[in-house]
C-alpha cells in the first residue's frame, strides 16, 4: 500500500515536472521566434544609451588670423531618469544650484527615457559645484560654447550662433554650413545596477567645422568704429555706417554699423541693432552721387575741367520744379561745379549728357545691383530706367535724388575711381580653412568691369582732391596726407512722400592718399542733429579714419621690411 501511494506521488511530480518543462520550452521557443528582437532592444536599452557628440564650430578670424569668434569649453548637464529615486529632492537641489525651475526639472526627470538634457553650456565653476553634490543619475558631457572676444566689434557683420552652435545671424548664419561641422555619436555601457562603465566600441567621432578667414583687419575695424562712435554720439544720430575698402583688391577692411550689439548677449538688446545696415539699408545719396554725372561727362568728352557753366545765381527751373544751390553761384568751371557741389551746375551737365547716358553710368558704377560681397540681406537699391523718368528726373537723379543706394555700393563706386577706373567686387571673406590651415575654399580679387578710362579717373581724382582742399570737404583736409572726396547732404523722404526739412543723411565718400590711393572710405550718418551737412558731420570722421589707417598700414609695411631684412641677414 505504501509503495503504491509513493508511486502515485512520484507520477504526479513527474507529470508536473514534465508539464513545466514543456511550458518552459514553449515559452523559450516563443521568445526566440517571436520576441527576441523586442527583448534584445529592451536589454540594450537597459545597458546602453546613445549620446550625440557635438562637433567644434569653426572659428572666425580676421585677415591676420586674429580671433573674432571662437569656442570655449563648457559642460552640459543631463539626467538618466531610471537612476533617480527622489525626483523632487533633485529638482530642489538644482533650483538652488542652477536656478532651474523645479517643475521643469520634475517634468524632465519623469520622462520614460534614458537621457534628458537639464542644463546646457555651463562653465567649469558651475559644473564643479553641481558635481560636488554627487547626485545619483546626473552626469556631465563636455561641449563648447560660442564666444566673441571683442563683444561688439563688427557685431552686425559677424552675427552670432545659438545654444546648439547653429548660426543665427550675420556671417555665422551665411556660412553656417562650413562652420558647424557634423555631429558624432557613441553608446555608453552600464552594469546591472545602471552604473556607467565606459564608452563602447561603437563610436562615430564628430567632424569639426571649418574656420572662416575674413578680409577685415581687426585694427582698421577698431579705428573705424572708434571714429564712427564719436559722430554717432556727438550728433545724437539715429544710425551710422562706415566702410573701408582696399581699392586695388576690393577687400573690405572694416565695416561699421550703429547701433550695434554685444555678440555674447544678443537677446538682451533690440533686434534692430543686429541689422547690417551697410548692405540692408538703402537711401537717397544726395551730392555724393555727383561723381557719376561728372565721370560720365568727362568720359563722353562733353566737358573739360576748364569749361564754364553758368549756375544761375542759385535758382534754376527744371519743368515745374525749381532747383537751388546752398550758395548762389554765377559762372563756375566744371571742376568747381563738383568741388563746390552745385546742384544747378550738375543738372546742366546732365541735361547735356541726356538721361540714357546718366542711367548707363549709374549702372556701370554698380548702382541698382547687389555687390555679391558675401553678406546676407543685401539689397540692390533703386535706379529707375529711363522709361519711367519724369520731366523733373533729369534735375533730380544726377544730384542724388530719385535714386537709392547702399553704403557698400558707394564704397565700390568711389573705389573704382581711385583704382584708375576699374571696379573691383567688394568682398568680406578671404578663405575657408580646415584645422591644419589648408584652404578648402578661397575668395580673391575679382575685376568686374572698367567703368571709365584711366584718364577720366585721374581727372576725377584731381576734382575730388580740390573738393577737399578748397571745396565743401575742407573739414577732411589732413596735415599729413592728401585726400580726395565728396560730401553729401540728402533730405530724407517723409511718409507722405515729401522731402523732410528736419531729417537728413550726412555723408562723405573719399580715398587716400590722392597720389597713390590705397583705401576708400565711406561714412554715412543718419539723422544727425543739430548739424546735418556731410562736410561738417561726416568729413572729420573720414579724415580721422584715413589718417590712422594709413599710419597703421605704413607701420605694418615697415615692420615687414625689418623682419624681412633680419631673415635675409640670417
Task: Dump pLDDT digits (tens) for 320-348.
Answer: 999 999 899 999 999 999 999 999 999 99
Handedness of CA 525, 526, 528, 531 (dihedral sign): positive
Both 354 and 477 in one domain: the answer is yes
Both 229 and 254 in one domain: the answer is yes
Q: With pLDDT > 70 as the criterion, what percentage of the chain qualifies?
A: 88
- Of 173-187, 199-213, 290-304, 439-453, which gets the smallest average pLDDT? 199-213
* Predicted TM-score (pTM) of this structure: 0.84
Both 487 and 535 in one domain: the answer is yes
In the predicted model, is pLDDT for residue 293 greater than 80?
A: yes
3-state secondary structure of 372: coil
Greater confidence (503 vs 115) lies with 503
Residue of 503, 492, 488 whose CA lies nearest to 542: 488
Active-site residue list: 287
- Of 241-250, 410-419, 496-505, 542-551, which gets the smallest average pLDDT? 496-505
The DSSP secondary structure of 90-111, one letter per residue, reads HHHHHHHHH---HHHHHHHHTS
Most confident of 3-7, 45-49, 417-421: 417-421
CATH at residue 62: 3.90.1310.10
Both 434 and 287 in one domain: the answer is yes
Handedness of CA 522, 504, 169, 146 (dihedral sign): positive
Residue 28 in domain: no
Both 157 and 248 in one domain: the answer is no
Both 156 and 236 in one domain: the answer is no
- Assess contact for 338 and 509: CB atoms under 8 A: no
Percent helix, strand, coil in the chain, to 5, is: 40, 25, 35
Parallel, antiparallel, or unpaired for β 138-147 and 116-122?
unpaired
145: how many CB neighbours lie within 10 A of its CB? Answer: 20
Which three cell numbers, joined as nine digits, stand for 78?
543631463
Q: Tell me the residue range of the domain where 381 lies.
A: 218-264+275-561
Residue of 344, 351, 423, 415 whose CA lies nearest to 389: 351
Q: With pLDDT > 90 as the criterion, what percentage of the chain qualifies?
A: 66
Both 158 and 192 in one domain: the answer is yes
- Of 277-291, 428-442, 554-568, which gets the smallest average pLDDT? 554-568
Both 225 and 208 in one domain: the answer is no
Residue 411, classified by CB atoms within 10 Å of its CB into exposed (0-12), middle (13-18) or buried (19+), is buried
Where residue 570 falls among pLDDT bands split at 50, 70, 90? very low
CA angle centred on 482, ends 477 and 485, rounded to 5°: 65
The DSSP secondary structure of 169-209, one letter per residue, reads SHHHHHTHHHHS-B-EEEEEEE-TT--EEEEEEEEE--BPP
Task: Dump pLDDT digits (tens) for 19-63.
Answer: 777 777 776 666 555 555 654 554 555 555 556 677 889 999 999
- Give the chain's domain count: 2
Give the C-alpha separation, 220 to 201, whole Å: 50
Give the C-alpha separation, 171 to 160, whole Å: 8
CATH at residue 346: 3.40.710.10
Both 236 and 341 in one domain: the answer is yes
- Quick one: pLDDT at residue 201? 52
Q: What is the mean pLDDT of the chain?
A: 89
Amino acid at each position: 500500500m505504501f509503495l503504491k501511494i509513493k508511486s502515485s506521488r512520484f507520477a504526479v511530480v513527474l507529470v508536473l515536472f514534465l508539464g513545466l518543462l514543456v511550458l518552459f520550452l514553449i515559452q523559450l521557443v516563443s521568445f526566440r521566434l517571436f520576441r527576441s528582437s523586442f527583448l534584445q532592444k529592451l536589454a540594450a536599452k537597459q545597458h546602453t544609451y546613445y549620446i550625440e557628440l557635438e562637433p567644434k564650430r569653426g572659428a572666425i578670424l580676421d585677415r591676420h588670423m586674429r580671433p573674432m569668434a571662437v569656442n570655449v569649453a563648457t559642460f552640459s548637464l543631463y539626467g538618466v531618469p531610471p537612476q533617480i529615486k527622489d525626483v523632487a529632492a533633485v529638482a530642489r537641489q538644482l533650483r538652488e544650484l542652477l536656478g532651474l525651475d523645479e517643475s521643469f526639472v520634475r517634468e524632465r526627470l519623469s520622462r520614460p527615457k534614458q537621457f534628458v538634457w537639464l542644463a546646457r553650456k555651463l562653465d567649469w565653476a558651475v559644473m564643479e559645484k553641481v558635481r560636488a553634490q554627487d547626485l545619483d543619475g546626473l552626469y556631465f558631457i563636455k561641449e563648447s560654447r560660442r564666444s566673441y572676444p571683442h563683444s561688439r566689434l563688427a557685431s552686425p557683420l559677424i552675427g552670432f550662433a545659438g545654444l546648439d552652435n547653429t548660426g543665427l545671424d550675420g556671417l555665422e548664419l551665411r556660412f553656417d554650413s562650413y562652420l558647424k561641422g557634423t555631429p558624432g555619436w557613441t553608446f555608453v555601457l552600464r552594469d546591472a545596477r545602471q552604473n556607467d562603465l565606459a564608452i563602447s566600441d561603437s563610436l562615430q567621432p564628430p567632424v569639426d567645422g571649418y574656420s572662416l578667414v575674413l578680409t577685415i583687419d581687426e585694427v582698421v575695424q577698431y579705428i573705424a568704429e572708434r571714429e564712427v562712435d564719436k559722430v554717432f554720439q556727438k550728433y545724437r544720430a539715429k544710425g551710422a555706417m562706415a566702410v573701408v575698402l582696399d581699392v586695388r583688391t576690393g577687400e573690405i577692411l572694416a565695416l561699421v554699423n550703429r547701433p550695434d550689439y554685444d555678440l555674447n548677449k544678443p537677446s538682451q538688446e533690440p533686434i534692430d541693432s543686429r541689422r547690417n545696415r551697410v548692405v540692408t539699408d538703402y537711401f537717397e545719396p544726395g551730392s555724393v552721387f555727383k561723381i557719376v554725372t561728372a565721370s560720365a561727362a568727362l568720359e563722353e568728352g562733353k566737358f573739360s575741367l576748364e569749361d564754364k557753366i553758368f549756375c544761375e545765381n542759385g535758382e534754376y527751373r527744371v519743368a515745374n520744379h525749381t532747383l537751388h544751390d546752398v550758395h548762389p553761384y554765377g559762372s563756375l568751371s566744371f571742376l568747381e561745379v563738383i568741388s563746390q557741389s552745385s546742384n544747378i551746375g550738375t543738372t546742366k551737365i546732365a541735361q547735356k549728357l541726356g538721361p540714357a547716358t546718366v542711367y548707363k553710368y549709374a549702372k556701370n558704377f554698380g548702382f541698382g545691383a547687389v555687390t555679391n560681397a558675401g553678406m546676407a540681406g543685401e539689397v540692390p537699391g533703386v535706379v529707375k530706367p529711363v522709361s519711367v523718368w519724369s520731366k523733373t528726373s533729369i534735375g533730380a537723379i544726377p544730384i542724388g535724388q530719385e535714386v537709392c543706394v547702399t553704403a557698400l555700393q558707394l564704397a565700390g563706386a568711389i573705389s573704382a575711381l581711385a583704382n584708375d577706373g576699374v571696379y573691383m567686387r567688394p568682398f568680406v571673406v578671404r578663405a575657408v580653412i580646415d584645422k591644419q590651415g589648408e584652404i578648402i575654399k578661397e575668395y580673391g580679387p575679382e575685376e568686374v568691369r572698367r567703368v571709365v578710362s584711366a584718364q577720366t579717373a585721374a581727372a576725377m581724382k584731381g576734382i575730388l582732391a580740390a573738393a577737399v582742399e578748397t571745396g565743401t570737404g575742407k573739414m577732411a583736409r589732413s596735415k599729413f596726407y592728401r585726400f580726395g572726396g565728396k560730401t553729401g547732404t540728402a533730405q530724407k523722404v517723409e511718409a507722405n512722400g515729401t522731402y523732410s526739412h528736419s531729417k537728413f543723411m550726412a555723408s562723405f565718400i573719399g580715398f587716400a592718399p590722392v597720389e597713390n590711393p590705397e583705401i576708400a572710405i565711406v561714412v554715412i550718418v543718419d539723422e544727425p542733429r543739430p548739424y546735418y551737412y556731410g562736410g561738417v558731420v561726416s568729413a572729420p570722421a573720414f579724415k580721422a579714419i584715413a589718417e590712422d589707417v594709413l599710419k597703421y598700414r605704413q607701420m605694418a609695411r615697415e615692420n615687414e621690411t625689418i623682419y624681412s631684412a633680419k631673415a635675409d641677414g640670417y
